[in-house]
Structure 1
Amino acid sequence: MKPLIFIDGEAGTTGLQIHSRLNGRTDIELLQLPYADRKDPVKRAEALNTCDVAILCLPDDAAVEAVSFIENPKVRVLDPSSAHRTTLGWVYGLPELTAGQADIITTAKRVSNPGCYPTGAIALLRPLTEAGVVPKDYPVNVHAISGYSGSGKSLIDAYEIPDHPQHTDAPYRGYGLNLNHKHVPEMMAEALLEHRPIFTPGYGKYRQGIVLYVPLHLRLLPAGASVQQIHACLSNHYADSEFIKVVPLDQVKTVTQLDPEYLNDTNRLDIYVFSDEKSGQVLLAAVYDNLGKGASGAAVQNLNLMLNGQA
């Protein structure tokens, strides 16, 4: 029999994207509730206990509630919400995180999909902290600009519906100014950081795509640290990755701008290592789609691993 997949919350931004990526596949079967039943707890519980894999495209509280509905021990869960990303017993769903992570996801009963911003920050930092190239107590700063779809349906509608009560054409919105964004614990845990990073996110006037930056000072790194060492560490870590690419240094030298949209509708993430060796400054950058590798693309990658061990 084909694996039965239930997307709880398929009408949301991420749920629609996942459904679109899965629709038409012949190796799985999608379980869908009639529109009138989608918020019925009894119908949802029945679907959650009938499927082989439940994908929870829900607000955090609703995702926790959905897990509480599951009594069938055979049901596996993939949660794109932020409810379980640092919860004991859940596997972090970034297959490229470290050696063997994809294998762990393949056999896991509970997988938590990474957040859009942490995907880039952790992809840049984890190989370096794990190898000791960047100290785990480094004072990390993360700055990112996302398309407005990262905020969900309310901000999408505010930008895209001209007569919306909160319609806006704002070219840029910085937020998270209380330095207590919900993604920070996730970044800290999975990037192996001993101190909270300062995270400054923002939305731009475009629908989707992220540019994320992590600056480094060579003088604060272990003796002998260099741009070449940093680049080599990242390149070695992702050498066999299908979806994450480290741009060669000679190509980076010709890059003067980064377009946040060029990887839209893919599950790819590109890493750049910029530098000014005279000042000893390095700028790590990641470009990816917040709805792709940052959400639905990563979810489908994890689902594929859970079903057949291949992304």
Structure 2
Amino acid sequence: MSSDGQATVFIDGEAGTTGLGIRDRLRHLPVTLRSIDPALRKDPQARREMMMAVDVVILCLPDAAAREAVDMADAMGTDAPRILDASTAFRTDPAWVYGFPEMDASQPDAIRKAARVSNPGCYPTGLIALLRPLVSAGLVPADYPVCINAVSGYSGGGRSMIEAHEREGGPAFELYGLGLGHKHIPEMTLYAGLAQAPIFVPSVGHFPQGMIVSVPLHLDRLPGRVGIADLHAALAAHYAGSDRIAVADPCAKLVADALAGTDRMELRVHGSDDARQAVLTARLDNLGKGASGAALQNLALMLGLEPPPSV
């Protein structure tokens, strides 16, 4: 705690895109941010001393560096801080709590009590939000052959991708991960409750922030005579009362960056009962509810604070 009684927070990797987003959002919480001299940000002793001096460390690092930081914290024993990790390193680790508060009714309390919380990935946030309630309700079988198409703004791709898109003549649209081994697939499979890995085809559009995750469904492959209204009703019931996730009416088209700069997510069920086909969509900001916004929500829960209203 700081001298004024506020919880203290250190962002290890605060100069990156997610770290900067978290730093900016911290003004909405009564916490004290502590930082290392930029010249010492990679110095192990300086980092260790800072970690021992704060209540929560937020890791905004590559996976390998995040694992090293957690090893450092574990070696501190009872002096170790609580950790919120934004990398993919621990998202499927059973010793860590998954930081998606809306996933289940018990998830917020689990996050409040956890010493180690993994912040979800942006694509998995949309996919899990769409599918987990439907799988849990028995409307979509766990062994349904799920295919995911998704497009993200280029800000989630790191410095080289940002530079490529912001220079004159940058790419208009790119498919990637075509080897079907994207690092988010284990996370999606586990927390959506799927019995087999989905086919996931991510892409990047020529816009900074925003995301659409879409999942097509053949309704005749679902149990009984499930219709579009049934899918919509199950999602609406699951997210009733949420100020961050809204279940909206279907529409003729979606613009991917419409929620850029917010921490909200919109879910929809589009399609035709006559054709027995549906498309589930999740729209969000890849840097908002898909990254920094989710981290702030998790941090507030970990510290017993009221999460700030969604922007």
TM-score when normalising by structure 2: 0.94
One-letter amino acid of the counterpart of residue 13, structure 1: T
* Equivalent position of 2:203 in the other structure: 202
**C-alpha distance in 2 between matches for 1:287 and 1:299:** 18
1:15 alignment partner, SS class: helix
* Equivalent position of 2:233 in the other structure: 232
**Which of 240, 245, 270 matches 1:274?**
270
Deviation for aligned residue 1:278: 1.7
2:266 alignment partner, SS class: strand
Shift >6 Å, 4+ stretches:
none
**Which of 76, 79, 94 matches 2:100?**
94
2:61 alignment partner, SS class: coil
* Equivalent position of 2:190 in the other structure: 189
Change (3 A) 1:129 1:26: closer
**C-alpha distance in 1 between matches for 2:207 and 2:132:** 29
Superposition RMSD in Å: 1.2
2:197 alignment partner, SS class: coil
**C-alpha distance in 1 between matches for 2:70 and 2:305:** 23
One-letter amino acid of the counterpart of residue 40, structure 1: D
Deviation digits for residues 220-271 of structure 1 (CA, Å, limit 9, x no counterpart): 10012111111110000000211000003xxx2xx22101111111110000
Q: For 1:23-102, what aligned pairs fall within 5 Å after superposition?
A: 24-25=27-28, 27-70=30-73, 71-73=76-78, 74-102=80-108
One-letter amino acid of the counterpart of residue 275, structure 1: G
Contact 1:103/1:309 (8 A) holds in 2: no
Give unmatched runs, 5+ long, in structure 2.
none
**C-alpha distance in 2 between matches for 1:211 and 1:40:** 39
* Equivalent position of 1:165 in the other structure: none
One-letter amino acid of the counterpart of residue 119, structure 1: T
* Equivalent position of 1:307 in the other structure: 303
**Which of 127, 144, 147 matches 2:153?**
147
**C-alpha distance in 2 between matches for 1:159 and 1:224:** 45
**C-alpha distance in 2 between matches for 1:160 and 1:48:** 36
**Which of 13, 18, 22 matches 1:14?**
18
Q: For 1:108-187, what aligned pairs fall within 5 Å after superposition?
A: 108-162=114-168, 169-187=170-188
Give unmatched runs, 5+ long, in structure 1.
163-167
One-letter amino acid of the counterpart of residue 5, structure 1: V
Deviation for aligned residue 1:310: 3.1
**C-alpha distance in 1 between matches for 2:62 and 2:126:** 22
**C-alpha distance in 2 between matches for 1:44 and 1:205:** 37
**C-alpha distance in 1 between matches for 2:297 and 2:305:** 10
Deviation digits for residues 166-211 of structure 1 (CA, Å, limit 9, x no counterpart): xx51100000000000000000000000011000000000001001
**C-alpha distance in 1 between matches for 2:174 and 2:28:** 38
Deviation for aligned residue 1:276: 1.4
Change (3 A) 1:25 1:233: closer
Deviation for aligned residue 1:21: 1.0
* Equivalent position of 2:243 in the other structure: 242
TM-score when normalising by structure 1: 0.94
Contact 1:149/1:207 (8 A) holds in 2: yes
1:308 alignment partner, SS class: coil
**C-alpha distance in 2 between matches for 1:19 and 1:47:** 16
